[in-house]
């Protein structure tokens, strides 16, 4: 007895077999399969969030730059605190707190 006799004729159709093979290939085997697409979408969303963060940070830095370039007292304070600058007649003491 033929083992393929019990298979319905529809499943032996060339177009059905090729279509099934094509769908399986595109979903699981291809380089742009479903899992890769999901990972790339998640990465894209993460990169968009980073872009928004850095745009906000850029606006903040530009605002600080503008303030430093217009206010001499603020510029001196910034230089003393961040770059440990001092006048020639001053002594500089750095206090380190042990937490």
pLDDT, residue 43, reads: 98
pLDDT of amino acid 76: 87
Q: What is the distance of C-alpha 55 from the center of its chain?
A: 13
pLDDT at 99: 79
Q: Which residues of the chain have pLDDT under 50?
A: none
CA distance 57 to 67: 15
pLDDT of residue 94: 81
């Amino acid at each position: 007895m033929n083992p393929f006799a019990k298979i319905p004729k529809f499943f032996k159709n060339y177009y059905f077999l090729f279509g099934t093979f094509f769908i399986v290939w595109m979903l699981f085997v291809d380089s742009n399969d479903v899992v890769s697409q999901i990972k790339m979408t998640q990465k894209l969303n993460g990169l968009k969030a980073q872009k928004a963060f850095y745009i906000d940070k850029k606006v903040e830095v530009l605002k600080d730059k503008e303030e430093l370039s217009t206010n001499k007292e603020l510029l001196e304070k910034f230089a003393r605190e961040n770059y440990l600058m001092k006048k020639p007649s001053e002594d500089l003491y750095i206090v380190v707190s042990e937490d």
